[in-house]
């Protein structure tokens, strides 16, 4: 009996050993390659909240500034700037043929034509570095060459006629002229350099364009031009800023901005009826609602403007055909860009605060590092400007205050050339559209050229 028991125990032991060996030979069910990134993110977020310095006055103030900047951005820019820009971008994706974009802005287009169209197209939009992004993404996805697309991306916020005039009046004629000349040259030079840095991809685009069939034209070119011009004028008139001088042409336009916005909106309504088969009663109902709200709340134009946007969405989503595609394209851009923009605005507000306020980085540190005309001062001004968020025209009073605190002319111009065209929210979106390598190359080019321009300008126009 004892021998039998021993044999059974040995068999059980051998069976158990075989089972263990078989289990160890099986592949692990845990794939650390897919786990460590989200696990690291969770641990990182936990540690941030665990060590949150709520007792530190500067940190709590920076958090409040971050939220305040996001609130200001939502009130001042999303409805008036970004939403119209999303509709324009969606319309580009739907109604502008890829072949047409390739012809005028493609990698194989004549350089003079492509960069001329890109820079002029950007200069008519008085928009900030974020508002230009949906339109840039639209022309890029339709096949625009990298160089012309980058030229448009830079020129939109940088070659702003009103901002350049304000710069000349507040900061001096030399600064205004240098900003205008520098911005025009930058948009072309940076675009050309980006084209040659990624020449292989551009050549592949040219080869693809050769095999592209002739586009089927839904409507004549002049109709598309009028349709896009109407939406662009709605964007420009609705976002027209109040000038410092309470008289003159700019102020006259500002006084009539909402009247002009209403006129262009009415023209758009007529075009929707005639060319897009939207029912006339829908346009009439939406227009009447906007008019009533404008009369009831004359000092709150955002109410009427928001109602107009809601009415437009209702009209184009309840009309079958190409208007539905227009809405879906606009929604795709909104879904891709908006989360990144608000994340960037929150971080920018946390680090630098709103204009005239403090974030984690003290403005005294900035002003102390941008005096004189050294390489370090110009480089720091370029980098700081690239990460800061400037709404349209706000860079001028901010620079006026910094120059009053000792900022040199060279670093001031460097910040003017880098700041309006770049920002942290802007960078996040550009990366999602172009990828990491192209985004880094674009940022480096802007910073380097801004630094060099600042040093040259500071050498000939010193503050002393």
Mean pLDDT rounded to a whole number for the chain: 81
Percent of the chain residues past pLDDT 90, beyond the cut: 22
> Cβ distance 148 to 192 under 8 Å?
no
Q: Is the dihedral of CA 400, 405, 409, 410 positive or negative?
A: negative
Which pLDDT belongs to residue 157? 77
Which pLDDT belongs to residue 444? 94
Residue that wins the pLDDT comparison between 163 and 359 = 359
Residue 12 has pLDDT above 60, yes or no: no
Which pLDDT belongs to residue 24? 58
Give per-residue pLDDT as tens, 303-323: 999 999 999 999 999 988 889
Residue 455 Ramachandran class (φ > 0 left, ψ -120 to 50 alpha, else beta): alpha
Residue that wins the pLDDT comparison between 196 and 397 = 196
With CA atoms as reference, report the closest residue to 73 among 367, 312, 390, 320. Answer: 390
Distance between CA atoms of residues 191 and 370, nearest Å: 28
**pTM to 2 decimal places:** 0.70
Q: Which of 53-57, 152-156, 185-189 is most confident?
A: 185-189
Query: What is the mean pLDDT of the segment spanning 160-187?
Result: 80
Query: What is the mean pLDDT of the segment spanning 145-172?
Result: 79
Q: At a CB cut-off of 8 Å and minimum separation 6, what does 275 contact?
A: 219, 223, 227
Other C-beta atoms lying within 10 Å of the C-beta of residue 218: 12
Domain boundaries, the chain: 351-460
Distance between CA atoms of residues 118 and 105, nearest Å: 7
Which of 183-197, 285-299, 437-451 bottoms out in mean pLDDT, i.e. has the lowest? Answer: 183-197
Residue 244 has pLDDT above 80, yes or no: no
Six-digit token pair at 450?
Answer: 């801004």
| 177-180 contact pairs (CB < 8 A, 24+) | 178/413, 178/453, 178/457, 178/461, 179/413, 179/416, 179/417
Other C-beta atoms lying within 10 Å of the C-beta of residue 276: 18
Residue 126 has pLDDT above 60, yes or no: no
Which pLDDT belongs to residue 237? 87
Confidence of residue 429 (pLDDT cuts 50, 70, 90): confident
Q: What are phi and psi of 224, to 5 degrees?
A: -65, -40
Confidence of residue 2 (pLDDT cuts 50, 70, 90): low
Confidence of residue 63 (pLDDT cuts 50, 70, 90): confident
| 173-177 contact pairs (CB < 8 A, 24+) | 174/457, 174/461, 175/409, 175/412, 175/413, 175/416, 175/461
Query: What is the mean pLDDT of the segment spanning 63-85?
Result: 83
Confidence of residue 21 (pLDDT cuts 50, 70, 90): low
Which pLDDT belongs to residue 313? 94
- Burial class for 281, CB neighbours closer than 10 Å (0-12, 13-18, 19+): exposed
Residue 448 has pLDDT above 90, yes or no: yes
Q: What angle do CA 381, 385, 389 make, to 5 degrees?
A: 155
Terminal-to-terminal C-alpha distance of the chain: 109
Which residue shows structure tokens 């005309």? 373
Which pLDDT belongs to residue 247? 73
Residues constituting the chain: 464
Which pLDDT belongs to residue 216? 56
Confidence of residue 32 (pLDDT cuts 50, 70, 90): low
Confidence of residue 215 (pLDDT cuts 50, 70, 90): low
With CA atoms as reference, report the closest residue to 403 among 454, 450, 352. Answer: 454
Confidence of residue 153 (pLDDT cuts 50, 70, 90): confident
């Amino acid at each position: 009996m004892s021998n039998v028991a021993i044999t059974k125990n040995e068999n059980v032991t051998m069976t158990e050993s075989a089972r263990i060996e078989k289990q160890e030979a099986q592949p692990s069910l845990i794939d650390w390659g897919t786990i460590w990134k989200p696990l690291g993110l969770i641990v990182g977020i936990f540690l941030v909240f665990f060590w949150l310095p709520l007792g530190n006055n500067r940190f709590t103030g920076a958090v409040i500034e971050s939220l305040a900047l996001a609130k200001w951005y939502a009130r001042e820019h999303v409805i008036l700037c970004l939403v119209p820009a999303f509709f324009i971008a969606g319309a580009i994706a739907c109604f502008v043929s890829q072949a047409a974009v390739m012809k005028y802005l493609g990698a194989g287009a004549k350089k003079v034509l492509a960069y001329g169209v890109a820079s002029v197209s950007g200069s008519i939009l008085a928009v900030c570095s974020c508002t230009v992004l949906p339109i840039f993404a639209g022309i890029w996805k339709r096949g625009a060459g990298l160089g012309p697309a980058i030229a448009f991306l830079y020129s939109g916020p940088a070659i702003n006629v009103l901002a350049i005039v304000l710069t000349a009046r507040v900061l001096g004629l030399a600064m205004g002229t240098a900003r205008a000349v520098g911005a025009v040259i930058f948009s072309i030079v940076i675009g050309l350099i980006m084209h040659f840095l990624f020449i292989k991809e551009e050549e592949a685009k040219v080869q693809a364009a050769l095999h592209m069939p002739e586009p089927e034209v839904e409507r004549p070119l002049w109709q598309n031009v009028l349709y896009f011009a109407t939406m662009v004028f709605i964007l420009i008139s609705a976002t027209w800023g109040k000038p410092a001088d309470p008289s003159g042409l700019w102020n006259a336009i500002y006084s009539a901005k909402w009247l002009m916005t209403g006129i262009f909106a009415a023209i758009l309504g007529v075009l929707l009826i005639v060319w897009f088969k939207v029912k006339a009663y829908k346009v009439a109902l939406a227009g009447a609602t906007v008019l009533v709200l404008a009369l009831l709340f004359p000092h709150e134009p955002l109410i009427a403007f928001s109602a107009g946007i809601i009415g437009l969405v209702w009209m184009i989503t309840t009309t079958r055909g190409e208007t539905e595609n227009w809405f879906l394209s606009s929604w795709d851009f909104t879904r891709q860009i908006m989360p990144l923009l608000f994340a960037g605005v929150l971080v920018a507000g946390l680090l630098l605060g709103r204009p005239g306020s403090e974030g984690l980085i003290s403005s005294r540190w900035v002003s102390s590092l941008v005096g004189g005309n050294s390489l370090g001062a110009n480089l720091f001004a370029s980098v700081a400007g690239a990460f800061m968020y400037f709404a349209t025209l706000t860079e001028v009073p901010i620079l006026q205050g910094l120059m009053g605190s000792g900022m040199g002319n060279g670093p001031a111009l460097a910040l003017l050339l880098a700041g309006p065209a770049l920002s942290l929210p802007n960078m996040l979106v550009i990366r999602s559209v172009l990828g990491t390598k192209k985004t880094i190359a674009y940022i480096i080019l802007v910073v380097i050229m801004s630094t060099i321009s600042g040093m040259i300008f500071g050498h000939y126009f010193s503050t002393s």
